[in-house]
Amino acid sequence: MIDSSPETAPKTEFDEEGRPDSLPAATLRGHEVIKSYLAGLDTSSGVYRMLDATGAVLYVGKARQLRQRVSSYARPTGHSARIGRMISATASMMFLTTRTETEALLLEQNLIKQLKPRYNVLLRDDKSFPSILVTTTHGFPQIKKHRGARREEGQYFGPFASTGAVNRTLAQLQRVFLLRNCSDAEFDGRTRACLQYQIKRCSGPCVGHIPAAEYQKLVDEGLAFLGGKSSDIQQRLAQEMRAASDALEFERAGALRDRLAAMAQVQVSQGVNPAGVSQADIIALHQEGGQACVQVFFIRANQNWGNRAYYPRTGGSADPAEILEAFMVQFYDNKPPPPLILLSAPVAQPDLLEGAFSAKISRKVALLVPQRGEKKLLVENALRNAREALARKLAESASQARLLSGLAEVFSLPAPPQRIEIFDNSHIQGAHAVGAMVVAGPEGWIKSSYRKFNIKGTELTPGDDFGMMKEVLTRRFFRLVKEDPDRSKGLWPDLLLIDGGAGQVSAVRGVMKEMGVESIAMVGIAKGVDRDAGKEEFHITGRPPFALQHRDPVLYFIQRLRDEAHRFAIGTHRAKRSKAIGVTPLDGVPGVGAARKRALLAHFGSAKAASRADLADLKAVEGISDKMAETIYSFFHESG
């Protein structure tokens, strides 16, 4: 970081996160404080940060020449409303020089994703996309779904817009090419063909139903199909089917007919398949009502592999070029870009983006705003989807805003809540007890903030719902106080909804008093005497219980909030219970993995019988060495 602060600018030392250690009583604000930095800047490329009086980062920007870029903010007029508000709130700046503008571009977007400045365009949902992986580390390659870093050896095909799209395609591909989807461990441990073989979804290589060379031929066909050579494969399969029929090999002809039908189904399920675009992403932006929607369509192997809508935070008035540039850099930060990206509007520096993306994947990447032909139609289709998706989003937001206002009126809140946290517990007579928290706000569910709590209290009576809720809220508030003590990060709720009546409310109120957070509104939702939906009673400290009219929209909204917390809690409990069902005493024995556990269970019939077996019987188990038998025996007979 270069020290470019002149004597008139506020002198500030910053910690590793870019926040001031101590803030001076600076007198300059806005364009005046920005102007005071110009003397210390040169023509270097780099990244600049604008900070407010508390040290919070307002904006992160990049520049080919820092002095020239920052000087544009030093003018008192000529800015959009959004930039004007940002400049007026600026109390200090930070700078970091880079060797090239490409480095500055990548650093800028890394800082934006880390710091989440208020006035930057921010991609809020950047989860990785699923792909299809055909492994190459085994003699009989496996086809499977993959998500995350591409560390496993093999050929990857994607991205697909959703897990559902991958699952549907995998199911059809297995019908066409009969490739295995079991893990290598399952494959090596098989003694007879599994159900996939019985339903004609696998060729059964695990038990020798197909030679390695024939299986590899199926793998090559699958790779060719995923690579866009479907017509060649279809023609060859059709020829083989006719030849088999002429040779009166009707069973083989029927199998080939089924494969052809499955292949046709795959192509139908892909939707619109462009003939002239083999591999591209289509990115279209629509803005309305101060919000934006970016639709991304994935074209791979001349097939449409789905689309996804994004709603980046834009600050209300960012121009299309800025939104698209920021979106693309953040979007492709954790995924490889295709060789062609079709855009609905031009960006300010296409050469810079093309250079950065090309360097990322070591091959040419082109940005194009098509003006005619099939590519233009593809972009128009994506743009129409963006427009329709944003219209739905705005309608949902308006409805959500009305419901939040109604919630504030019903519960006598000073303003519509911006963050609601809903809590619920789940257990069966105290066993596998879990707590769950779901979060909602003006834009609906905030699923990235959902949390699950394994109940840890050893002194709780099984089934003590009051004690469980108290533990969950204690842990929640303890973490909040630790992570956001000054409540500046937006993590604190405006309203707590608790599944329960007066007892739960009293328990939680005690926790809140102990933690010093009594200012948060809290409501208990009890199901009433008959425990029927629509007869809920609401418990608020200092007020008698009350109910809402049966057809009140706010009541339906509260029911949805409660039901989502209940769904999440039940799902968490079931997952914990299912995991516990598979646990046996053998899991704790050093050196006993899945294969040895299967051998022991097959020999003795149960884990209990294996734990009681004598040493001679353990040594008789196939796959258990004398030394391992001694280890197992010692583990269960230490007291002896």
Question: Residue 277 has what pLDDT?
Answer: 85
Question: How far apart (Å, rounded) are the C-alpha atoms in residues 470 and 474?
Answer: 6
Q: What is the DSSP letter of 461?
A: P
Q: What residues of the chain score a pLDDT lower than 50?
A: 1-26, 268-271, 639-640
Torsion of CA 71, 77, 83, 84, to 10 degrees: 120
- In SS3 terms, 502-567 reads as HHHHHHHHHHHHHHCCCCCEEEEEECCCCCCCCCCEEECCCCCCECCCCCCHHHHHHHHHHHHHHH
Answer whether 295's CB lies under 8 Å from 307's CB: yes
C-alpha distances out from residue 406 to 411, 423, 455, 547, 556, Å: 9, 21, 34, 14, 11
Amino acid type, 318: A
Residue 56: Cβ within 10 Å count:
18
Assign residue 429 a region (left: φ > 0; alpha: ψ between -120 and 50; beta: otherwise).
left
- CA–CA separation, 524 and 633 (whole Å): 53
Q: Which long-range contacts (CB under 8 A, 24 or more apart) does 387-393 make?
A: 387/286, 387/288, 387/293, 389/293, 389/295, 389/309, 390/286, 390/287, 390/288, 390/291, 390/292, 390/293, 390/311, 391/288, 393/291, 393/293, 393/311
Cα 433 to Cα 435: distance, rounded to the nearest angstrom: 7
Angle, helices 212-226/163-177, rounded to nearest 10 degrees: 140
pLDDT digits (tens, 9 = 90+) for 34-59: 988 998 888 899 999 999 888 889 99
pLDDT at residue number 20:
40
- Helices and strands (H, E) in the chain, number of each type: 20, 18
- Rounded to whole angstroms, the maximal C-alpha distance in the chain is 95
pTM > 0.75: no
Q: What angle do CA 398, 121, 126 make, to 5 degrees?
A: 85
Cα separation, 463 vs 183, in Å, equals 40
Cβ burial 600-628 (10 Å sphere, 16+ → b, else e): beebbeebeebbebeeeebbebeebeeeb
Do residues 178 and 201 lie in contact, with contact meaning Cβ atoms separated by under 8 Å? yes
DSSP state of 388: H
Tell me, what amino acid is at 468?
M
**pLDDT at residue 622, rounded to an integer:** 86
Beta carbons within 8 Å of 389's beta carbon, 6+ residues apart: 293, 295, 309
The residues near 325 (Cβ < 8 Å, ≥ 6 apart) are 347, 348, 349, 353
pLDDT given for residue 234 in this prediction:
67
Q: Tokens standing for 363?
A: 């091959």
Cβ-count burial 111-125 (b if 16+ within 10 Å, e if not): bbbebebbbbbbbee
- 345 C-beta neighbours (distance < 10 Å), count: 16
Asked if residues 170 and 262 have their Cβ atoms less than 8 Å apart, the reply is no
Contact 175, 200 (CB under 8 A): yes
Cβ distance 160 to 133 under 8 Å? Answer: no
Strand-pairing partners, residue 523, are: 497
- Residue pair 436/568 in contact by the 8 Å Cβ criterion: yes
- The position carrying tokens 């900070």 is 51
Structure-token pair, residue 60: 């992160």
- Is the torsion defined by CA of 252, 256, 261, 265 positive or negative? positive
| Rounded Cα distance, 569 and 388, in Å | 34
619 and 626 in contact (C-beta within 8 Å)? Answer: yes
- How is residue 394 written in tokens? 């705005």
Give me the pLDDT at residue 273, please: 62
Instruction: Report the alpha-carbon distance of residue 248 to residue 67 in Å, rounded.
Output: 81
Q: Is 132:226 a contact under the CB 8 Å cutoff?
A: yes
Residue 375: the pLDDT is: 92
| pLDDT at position 600 | 85
| Measured distance CA(130)–CA(151) in Å, rounded | 14
Q: Are strands 451-454 and 131-135 parallel, antiparallel or unpaired?
A: unpaired
Q: Are 550 and 534 in contact (CB under 8 A)?
A: yes
Which residues are paired to 59 by β-bridges?
Answer: 50
Structural domains of the chain, ranges and CATH numbers in brackets: 30-115 (3.40.1440.10), 131-269 (no CATH), 279-391 (3.30.420.340), 420-579 (3.30.420.340), 585-636 (1.10.150.20)
The Cα angle at residue 96 between residues 92 and 98, in degrees rounded to 5: 155
**Alpha-helix residue ranges (DSSP H) falling in 74-211:** 81-89, 101-115, 163-177, 184-189, 195-198
Q: How far from 214 is each of 232, 256, 420, CA to CA, in Å?
A: 18, 14, 58
109: three-class secondary structure by DSSP: helix
